[in-house]
Amino acid sequence: MSVGEMFPVSAADLAVLHAQLAQTADSADLLDLSYRLIDSPIGRLLLAATPRGLVRIAFEYEGFDEVLESLATKISPRILEGTNRLDAAWSELDEYFTGRRKAFDLELDFALSSGFRQHVQRYLPQIGYGQTRSYKQVAELVGNPRAVRAVGSACATNPLPVVVPCHRVLRSDGSLGGYLGGLEIKRTLLQIESSAA
* SS3 assignment for 147-186: CHHHHHHHHHCCCCCCCCCHHHEECCCCCCCCCCCCHHHH
Rounded-to-integer distance, Cα 57 and Cα 118, Å: 16
pLDDT, tens digit (0-9, with 9 covering 90-100), for 116-129: 999 999 999 999 99
pLDDT, tens digit (0-9, with 9 covering 90-100), for 145-154: 999 999 999 9
- State residue 19's pLDDT score: 59
pLDDT band at 5 (very low <50, low <70, confident <90, very high): low
- The answer to whether domain 11-97 has CATH 3.30.160 is yes
Give domain limits for the chain.
Answer: 11-97, 115-196
- State residue 31's pLDDT score: 74
Rounded-to-integer distance, Cα 168 and Cα 156, Å: 12
- State residue 178's pLDDT score: 86
Q: Are 62 and 44 in contact (CB under 8 A)?
A: no
Q: Is residue 26 scored above 80 in pLDDT?
A: no
Residues 6+ apart with CB under 8 A from 133: 127, 141, 168, 169, 170
Catalytic site residue 155?
no
Rounded-to-integer distance, Cα 13 and Cα 108, Å: 33
In the chain, pLDDT over 70 holds for what percent of residues? 85
DSSP 8-state code for residue 103: S
* Topology of the domain covering 115-196: Arc Repressor Mutant, subunit A (1.10.10)
Paired strand residues for 79: 33
CA angle 76, 81, 84 (to 5 degrees): 105
Phi then psi for residue 134, to 5 deg, are -85, 160
Rounded-to-integer distance, Cα 160 and Cα 172, Å: 23
- Measured on CA atoms in the order 63, 69, 74, 78, is the torsion positive or negative? positive
Q: Read off the pTM.
A: 0.84
Q: Are 178 and 166 in contact (CB under 8 A)?
A: no
Catalytic residue among 166, 170, 180, 189: 166
